Structure 1
Amino acid sequence: MAMPTDIGIIDLGMGFPYTSVEEKKAAYDFFKANLKDRQSLEEFEFPAQYMFKDVPDVVDPGTDPVQWIVEKMDAFGIEQCMTGINDHSIRAKAEHPGRFHLMAQADPNKGMDTVRRLKQLKAEHNVVAAMTFPSGMVPQVGVGDKLMYPIYATCCELDIPICINGGIVGPRMPSWPQHVEQFDEVLYDFPELTMVMMHGGEPWTELAVKLMLKWPGLHYMTSAFAPKHYPKDIIRYANTRGADKIMYCGYFPAGLSLERQFREMPNVPFNDDVWPKFLRENALRVFKLDQDR
């Protein structure tokens, strides 16, 4: 059950740091209209601040964000990562071939503009996945809403996964768009779709496991969870029938330091055969990363 230390880890949730608190706050403006409480609107540096401590995502002005991330990856044995598409990540992919893989935001409220944008980003940058934050849409859009269906169809056409939040949302806004039961009907309607549940699925992790057993295309990544808080249902599933379904995703630097993640990771009770799949092999297969060169 020991965690291997020489495996060439793939992190499915890497970001880039901000050079000021003001820049950080502005990054969350896209869903500010969904927030009502005073702390979220006036006091917090980021909307889920009550859940995280000592977030390491602000660096000194003049720091090269790409080089800063590469040095962190090297220090913790992270060979490759997936990250959102922006100027930093496009440059990182060009300067460090094979290490950075790009994921495109997909806003269901923009209809066919989102479909055309996904196709453009696939053609120009070979994005390996689309990503949607249902509770963070303005207005909010549920996982099973008809507005999501063009995105799912486009992912099938492009042969890329959709990464989508499941479970209670962190920022203080309604969680109904991310109720895990909605994944069931979507996968019924799109049996070719590869879907990766992000951000925990809590408190419906038992249901998430049932749905992963049911639907071949449904997977799970550990985004936004410190290893000591990985849901027990997910660990149990990985150690039994789900070794091919569970993938490592950190939340650096948006919420968790790599120091904390890799300090706690060896204590996760995965079976020996699960570790290589969790840390590397499943990500290579599900996101077809070997084809992104």
Structure 2
Amino acid sequence: MTFPADPQAIDLMIAFPFKKAEIYAFLRAQAKDDETIAGQGDLAMPAGYMFNDVGDDAGDDEDVIETCIAAMDTVGVASGLFNVSEQSIEAKRRHPERIHFSLEVDPNDIGGAVHAIRAAHADYDLKAVTSFPAGCDPQVPISDRRYYPIYQTCVDLDIPICLTAGVPGPRVPGDCQHVRHFDQVCFDFPDLKIVMRHGAEPDEALAVKLMLKYPGLHYCTSAFSPKYYPQAIIDYANTRGTDKIMYAGYYPMGLSLDQIFAALPDVPFRDKVWEPFLHGNARRVFKL
């Protein structure tokens, strides 16, 4: 259970510091409760009520690329998965070994999403597609037909898709992200690599059952402090799921890298789990 002195982690959910009220405007537009709509303080991040401190916004003149790289250096994050943007493209130019690209898509625009994936893969060596079903407007269930051309595109390009699973933190409905949806998708797309994000709670035991069932289904620990990793996930990683569970953080959305890596050594992973969890599985699944 010894945490490595040099973790060389690959962070599968990381971003550069930003202004939360601007980034999360799309979720406030869907909200019905007054706190989320107002978006003040920690609720500028719509799931901020779940965290002790969502952190400060980026400063007006801050070089957020270097802020992020310095935070990664402090704790031993070797590289991370960043959404394609002008900012991340510039970061890749400055730090080519530290930046891997993903692309966030909304399947309400099926053709546009497929075109964007193919273009980003050709232009930027895209490593993954990501999507937030409960954040789409309107919401799109994971097993909905609108996702299917996106799934097939990921199969064609041999890249994973990362999908938010379980009850969403923001105050929007979450049935579209219920873990049961993965059963149908994994059946219909046996060659698709899927990585569940954001916990799969309260159905993490079902997530484990489905990972045992389907070789292409995986899990990452995004949006969770290590002290709250679900016990079912820890047990699975320690036994039959060592090659299925991957590290992901939540910087700067709701957790600092310092917070995460201060708590990681207390996770009761067996020694055999740390290397695949921190970077080995990510290198294999995302071809990094």
TM-score by length of 1: 0.95
| Matched position secondary structure for 1:81 | strand
Whether the aligned pair in 2 keeps the contact of 1:16 and 1:57 (CA below 8 Å) is no
Aligned match of 1:276: 275
Matches within 5 A, 1:126-141: 126-141=125-140
In 1, Cα distance between equivalents of 2:252 and 2:52: 12
In 2, Cα distance between equivalents of 1:29 and 1:127: 26
Matches within 5 A, 1:70-109: 70-109=69-108
Tell me how far 1:259 sits from its aligned partner.
Answer: 1.5
Aligned match of 1:257: 256
Instruction: Report the RMSD for the aligned CA atoms in angstroms.
Output: 1.0
Number of matched pairs = 285
In 2, Cα distance between equivalents of 1:30 and 1:85: 18
Whether the aligned pair in 2 keeps the contact of 1:57 and 1:254 (CA below 8 Å) is no
In 2, Cα distance between equivalents of 1:254 and 1:33: 18
Matches within 5 A, 1:190-269: 190-269=189-268
Tell me how far 1:30 sits from its aligned partner.
Answer: 2.2
1:29 aligns with 2:25: yes
In 2, Cα distance between equivalents of 1:45 and 1:32: 9
In 1, Cα distance between equivalents of 2:20 and 2:239: 40
Unmatched segments (≥5 aa) in structure 1: none
In 1, Cα distance between equivalents of 2:191 and 2:54: 38
Unmatched segments (≥5 aa) in structure 2: none
Aligned match of 1:142: 141
| Matched position secondary structure for 1:270 | coil
In 2, Cα distance between equivalents of 1:153 and 1:197: 17
Tell me how far 1:56 sits from its aligned partner.
Answer: 2.4
1:6 aligns with 2:36: no
- The one of 11, 35, 40 equivalent to 2:36 is 40
1:116 aligns with 2:108: no
Tell me how far 1:45 sits from its aligned partner.
Answer: 1.2
Cα deviation per residue 1:2-26 (whole Å; 9 max; x = unaligned)?
11021311111111112xxxx4212
Aligned match of 1:17: 17
| Matched position secondary structure for 2:26 | helix
| Matched position secondary structure for 1:68 | helix
Aligned match of 1:175: 174
Tell me how far 1:167 sits from its aligned partner.
Answer: 0.3
Identity of aligned residues (%): 48
